Amino acid sequence: MTEPVLSVRNLQVEFASRRGTLRAIDGVSFDIAKGEVLGVVGESGAGKSVTGLSVIGLIDPPGRIAGGEIYLAGRRIDNLPPEEMRRVRGKRIGMIFQDPLTSLNPLYRIGDQIVETIRTHLNLSEQAARRRAIDLLAEVGIPAPEKRIDGYPHEFSGGMRQRVVIALAICAEPELIIADEPTTALDVSVQAQIISLIKRLGRDHGTAVMLVTHDMGVIAETSDRVAVMYAGRVAEIGPVQDVVKNPLHPYAKGLMGAIPTLAGDDKRLVQIPGSMPRLSAIPRGCSFNPRCAFAFDRCRVERPEPLARGAQSVACHLYDSVPAESAA
């Protein structure tokens, strides 16, 4: 394999607040290869969205990237000057936000918004850009695109609007798409369509996809690999089958236990006791230790670093010099 499309190394993001500096992301590292879908999962506030926004360079003050590096196809992008980073956004990295209802400017026709984006990044004439816009709309599954291109956002349903948003994200053939909860705001019936659309686009164009969601079901269906985040850190990362079937981190175990299965066994869903700590009150040692059933003294003092276990990587003291069997 060649170089990964996206490589995040030891990322740290801080927010200045009245109560001092809060660390939203603390030492996150992962890679995404060409054509690969990486699912990023975790509770709200775990730092999934902030990670996505850091990659595309949209962390606004009072937030800032405090450390680490982000590489896009081998080239460092987290320290690019604003104007160069702008050229990367939309052209080499496309982004899809959660709420399609508010992602589009209500006063512009969707065609104008697509053409505007295409012409910002590609050297095309107005007509050529418009033809490309129609093709894009067709590709994301909008019926009668040559007619719908002149519609205003409010004339589209939620699912159709999310398709428009996706068309906007891929209109300059980006190498990477960051999809931040792309289905959360949609009807359940539409969610599956959007998910398979994103998956198909990634496959057809060889695009790497970073899929941020709190929905393990979506990840299991779409992703090649999955990163489980907790309190601004990656708890576990690995191939999706391994992590779903054999989660290593106690938090990942809890998370997998919390997925209802269609098999219908009458085991009660497992619940993780407590809730994720606020950024201002992250405990010492492993941030999961107050909720962890396996926590021991070391967990309350020392922060666990990622350890390789086969194809998986887990940040948990249970796997450090202790045979895996005793933990499982």
Give the residues lining the site for other proteins (CB under 8 A): 56, 58, 86-91, 94-95, 97, 99, 102-108, 116-117, 120-121, 152, 154-155, 165, 168-169, 172
Element (H, E) at 199: helix 188-205
Minimum Å gap between C-beta 48 and other proteins is 16
Minimum Å gap between C-beta 182 and other proteins is 12
Q: Which residue shows structure tokens 């509770």? A: 43
Nearer to other proteins, 168 or 314 (CB): 168
Q: Quick check: 113 and 148 in contact, CB under 8 A? A: no
Nearer to other proteins, 116 or 221 (CB): 116
Nearer to other proteins, 175 or 236 (CB): 175
Compute the distance between CA of residue 73 and CA of residue 127 in angstroms, rounded to an integer: 32
Minimum Å gap between C-beta 287 and other proteins is 27
Compute the distance between CA of residue 296 and CA of residue 193 in angstroms, rounded to an integer: 45
Residue 33 Cα distances to 94, 187, 209, 284, angstroms: 16, 31, 9, 34
Compute the distance between CA of residue 233 and CA of residue 26 in angstroms, rounded to an integer: 6
Compute the distance between CA of residue 15 and CA of residue 284 in angstroms, rounded to an integer: 19
Nearer to other proteins, 79 or 102 (CB): 102
Compute the distance between CA of residue 66 and CA of residue 56 in angstroms, rounded to an integer: 15
Minimum Å gap between C-beta 72 and other proteins is 13
Q: Quick check: 38 and 77 in contact, CB under 8 A? A: no
Nearer to other proteins, 62 or 217 (CB): 62
Q: Quick check: 162 and 182 in contact, CB under 8 A? A: yes
CA-based nearest residue to 251, from 13, 42, 23, 17: 42
Nearer to other proteins, 32 or 248 (CB): 32
Nearer to other proteins, 181 or 236 (CB): 181
Minimum Å gap between C-beta 201 and other proteins is 16
CA-based nearest residue to 169, from 224, 210, 223: 210
Residue 217 Cα distances to 11, 189, 273, 298, 319, angstroms: 27, 14, 21, 33, 27
Nearer to other proteins, 89 or 253 (CB): 89
Compute the distance between CA of residue 66 and CA of residue 185 in angstroms, rounded to an integer: 31
Minimum Å gap between C-beta 87 and other proteins is 6
Looking at the DSSP bridge assignments, the partners of residue 32 are 6
Minimum Å gap between C-beta 116 and other proteins is 7
Residue type, 286: C
Nearer to other proteins, 76 or 87 (CB): 87
SS3 label, residue 75: strand
Minimum Å gap between C-beta 98 and other proteins is 8
Minimum Å gap between C-beta 93 and other proteins is 8
Looking at the DSSP bridge assignments, the partners of residue 178 are 95, 210
